[in-house]
């Protein structure tokens, strides 16, 4: 089971396209990538979950941790997600109130192209 | 089923459980609920073993009755609280356990987390059909 992580820039946002399953085995890889981005000075991060088949509490923990890091730099972390089964995870855990969740990368990056 | 207490094995349990749930006649939405809940219970067990440095296997039992399926996940690490919440797991996700229990409670029709006879913790998840 592999987790695909591709990073590209949209305006001043760093967009992380995640592919695969985010679970207890793969979440540390996502955490490392997000820590690396923030430490390199990317404080506006978009995590694109459209290619994610599975997300669990460890993945949520990583996203919450990354949100705290970017906020410490007055930054932002927003998500792209339209899949009902993934949105359900955010709703049940109350995280729809914590993360801005958008339907496209362009929308999440504030329309910047 | 018995799996080594390693994070790489939780995905294998998800595959097995999804297949069992489909065979048992659950629709795809419920298959996904079962997959998520059992994965959470196994994750909690694996992380509890990591935290305790325990290398015994984790047991997952799938039992079918006419009106429900019961999945039991048994670890060998001393009882966590009745709410399943330990202060912090080995990977430092301090809020993870609270979210995990929220997912377990929502996805399963009934959930109990109790000390097992072998001195570990058993999570018992019931899914009505």
Residues of chain A neighbouring B100 (CB-CB closer than 8 A): 56-57
User: Domain of B103?
Assistant: 2-128
Q: Output the CA–CA distances (angstroms, integers) from residue B55 to B4, B50, B51, B70, in the order listed.
A: 7, 8, 11, 25
Contact yes or no for A54 and B39 at CB 8 A: yes
Q: What is the Cα B99 distance to its own chain's centre?
A: 14
Number of structural domains chain B divides into: 1
Q: Output the CA–CA distances (angstroms, integers) from residue A111 to A78, A98, A106, B76, B86, in the order listed.
A: 13, 21, 5, 51, 42
DSSP A43: -
Residue A66 neighbours by CB distance under 10 Å: 22
CATH number at residue B49: 3.30.565.10
- Provide the edge-to-edge strand list for the sheet that holds A3-10: A3-10, A13-22, A44-55, A76-80, A101-102
Supply φ then ψ for residue A96, to 5 degrees.
-65, -20
The 10s digit of each residue's pLDDT in B31-66 is 999 999 999 999 999 998 988 888 899 999 999 999
Residue A6: pLDDT band (50, 70, 90) is very high
**Domains (ranges, CATH) in chain A?**
3-107 (3.30.750.24)
Which ipTM value was assigned to this complex?
0.92
Residue in chain A lying closest to B46 (CA): A24
Contact yes or no for B39 and A28 at CB 8 A: no
The 10s digit of each residue's pLDDT in B71-128 is 999 999 865 544 555 545 555 445 888 899 999 999 999 999 988 888 889 999 999 9
Residue B93: is it exposed, middle or buried by C-beta count within 10 angstroms (0-12/13-18/19+)?
A: buried
Q: Output the CA–CA distances (angstroms, integers) from residue B117 to A57, B75, B76, in the order listed.
A: 28, 11, 10
């Amino acid at each position: 089971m592999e987790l695909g992580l591709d990073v590209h820039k949209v305006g001043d946002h760093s967009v992380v396209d995640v592919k695969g399953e985010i679970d207890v085995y793969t979440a540390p890889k996502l955490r490392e990538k997000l820590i690396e981005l923030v430490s390199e000075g990317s404080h506006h991060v978009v995590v694109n979950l459209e290619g994610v088949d599975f997300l669990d509490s460890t993945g949520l923990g990583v996203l919450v941790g990354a949100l705290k890091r970017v906020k410490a730099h007055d930054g932002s972390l927003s998500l792209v997600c339209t899949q009902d089964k993934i949105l359900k995870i955010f709703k049940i855990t109350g995280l729809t109130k914590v993360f801005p969740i958008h339907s496209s990368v362009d929308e999440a990056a504030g329309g910047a192209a | 089923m018995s799996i080594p207490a390693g994070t790489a094995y939780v995905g294998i349990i998800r595959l097995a459980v999804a297949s069992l749930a489909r065979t048992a006649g659950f629709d795809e939405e419920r298959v996904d609920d079962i997959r998520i809940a059992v994965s959470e219970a196994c994750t909690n067990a694996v992380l509890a073993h990591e935290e305790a440095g325990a290398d015994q296997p984790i047991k997952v039992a799938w039992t079918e009755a006419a009106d429900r399926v019961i999945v039991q996940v048994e670890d060998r690490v001393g009882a966590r609280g009745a709410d399943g919440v330990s202060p912090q797991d080995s990977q430092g996700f301090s809020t993870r356990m609270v979210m995990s229990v929220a997912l377990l409670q929502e996805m399963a029709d009934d959930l109990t987390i109790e000390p097992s006879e072998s001195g570990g913790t058993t999570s018992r998840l019931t899914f009505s059909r």
